[in-house]
Chains A and B, each alone.
Chain A
């Protein structure tokens, strides 16, 4: 029985490939026969587990997307190895937890330098090659947090909303060159982000936050939920599909049962209705842990 005409192998750069969605995506693409340049900050430590079993399809490259030299070197490495770059999967990201009131400049700068400017740097690094090829795909892993916002991780939401704006604009700019831009709207999955790519505000670390209890409840809730969420396999498969897909990509590629539930509601409801729904939630994790804790421990006025 004739099945798949084998798709032509693509050359794909995946950032943040040391673990989570990035690693699984690199391996899924390799499994499907594509050539992957998997970038990460510490290849000596994290590279072997990513490559294992796919030695002829995954190459690891050191790249910290906060450095312009590093992003340009990663793009140059891919070109030198394979002669072209068919797709970039912008995946590297950090999560900052802490109330907006207490985020300091350096914290939000570090967050944006990875989640927004880092993605832009890496994208800019591959564009000359893609323009020469007259084609390519920029697939950026965003989040439900890029479409809605909530307490305790507002700065993360801000970084993802900003990324949405950047990529939506870029989509128009690159269309004439046949380069596609698409955003993965990812729901809650069992990634390692909650454990390994999260930093908290100094105030929270010091235990002096006015929002200490609800933020800690939020963190605890996310950790509990993280283990209940589906594995990142589906996200990786969907990203690999987008890399392979021959027809025009949609602006948003929703991935996750929660995304399919929340986005239609958000689009249909007035903001008042949506806010009432979110504030009424008491589930463990986002956003119920926050509201539940506030309800149990109402803030008391303190003279400063």
Chain B
């Protein structure tokens, strides 16, 4: 059995973060579960896990809050064995119409947010010559597609950072890994805040296919599994003694796509992707473009 670990996970109010916090607690680990609004979200999370899950207010866009939270966690628990950078937001809308602010915001959360927390946690890991940093990327960190370019940009960037960090932190035996879940039924795909302004206001040149994509993705997610497998595999990464792989695709779709993408040329891949017409990503988009054209 793995020794009890101290794990800090961001974005633990819902989705992968909440499921992973509970899975880790179930396995006997200590979890610092950070979220923006613990007053609202913590009670449901820690129910049954008092003394195992410690909720902590943290906004990954706020450097001073991160530094205070990490210091408090180290004071209370003595160490952080693993950091799971899970907090993330999505963004739907064609690249042409993404505003500076919209792109800045998603990068600020998904990329710079992760880097800030890494920056706050890494010194204590370096001091102990031990630690794991697990970045929750996405299938969208491996392939790009229409109407999710901003999200893909953020996850591609997170993949690059993971790879660079892996080499940089190796001398201190700190391991860095990116996990790439496919489409999973979580809250992220069901909020209503994640489309760009032009889509929200119904004036996008890409309105029809973008809406079809959102609808298709939500329908696909609704039929699919929840976050329990992702949570279990994140917990495995925290526990295993063997060297962590660089990338861990999770889910049948992510596994298939990472294999196929690796075997295909760019031309073959593009031909395959643009041939899709199924409900979901990216078939819904291409289907509507074919049926209706663009405005």
Contact = CB atoms under 8 A, between A and B. Distances in A.
Contacts of A238: 229
Given A253-B252, A260-B245, A260-B248, A227 B1 contact: yes
Interface in A78-115: none
A162 B186 CA distance: 39
Interface in B56-95: none
Nearest to B244: A257
Range class of the A interface residue count: 20 to 34
B232 A237 contact: yes
Given A237-B232, A257-B242, A244 B225 contact: yes
Interface string B232-253: 1101110111101100110110
Contacts of A254: 255
A271 interface: no
Interface in A1-32: 1-5, 7, 28, 32
Given A1-B191, A250-B252, A257-B248, A234 B229 contact: yes
B252 A245 contact: yes
B277 interface: no
Contacts of A4: 185, 222, 226
A246 interface: yes
B228 interface: yes
Contacts of A249: 252
A240 B245 CA distance: 24
B36 interface: no
A257 B235 CA distance: 13
B277 to A, nearest CB: 14
Nearest to B192: A1
Given A237-B229, A245-B225, A261-B245, A230 B236 contact: yes
Interface in A222-266: 227-231, 233-234, 237-238, 240-242, 244-247, 249-250, 253-254, 257-258, 260-261, 264
A1 B187 contact: yes
Interface in A108-156: none
Instruction: Give the interface centre of A227, A241, A260, A261 by most chain B CB atoms within 10 Å.
Output: A241
A206 B251 CA distance: 46
B87 to A, nearest CB: 17
B27 interface: yes
A241 B222 contact: no
A245 B223 CA distance: 7
Contacts of A246: 223-224
B92 to A, nearest CB: 17
Contacts of A3: 185-187, 190, 226
Contacts of B245: 257, 260-261
B104 interface: no
A118 to B, nearest CB: 27
B256 interface: yes
26 contacts: A3-B185, A3-B186, A3-B226, A228-B241, A230-B236, A233-B23, A233-B27, A233-B235, A233-B236, A234-B232, A237-B232, A237-B233, A240-B229, A241-B225, A241-B229, A241-B251, A242-B252, A244-B224, A247-B252, A250-B256, A254-B255, A257-B236, A257-B237, A257-B240, A258-B242, A260-B249
Sorted nearest first, the 7 A-B pairs with minimum C-beta distance are: A230-B236, A237-B229, A241-B225, A234-B232, A246-B223, A233-B232, A237-B232
Interface of B: 1, 14, 23, 27, 185-187, 190-191, 222-226, 228-229, 232-233, 235-237, 239-242, 244-245, 248-249, 251-252, 255-256, 259, 262
Interface of A: 1-5, 7, 28, 32, 190, 227-231, 233-234, 237-238, 240-242, 244-247, 249-250, 253-254, 257-258, 260-261, 264
Given A234-B233, A244-B225, 14 more contacts: A1-B14, A3-B186, A190-B1, A227-B1, A230-B236, A237-B229, A241-B252, A249-B252, A257-B244, A257-B248, A258-B242, A260-B245, A260-B249, A261-B245
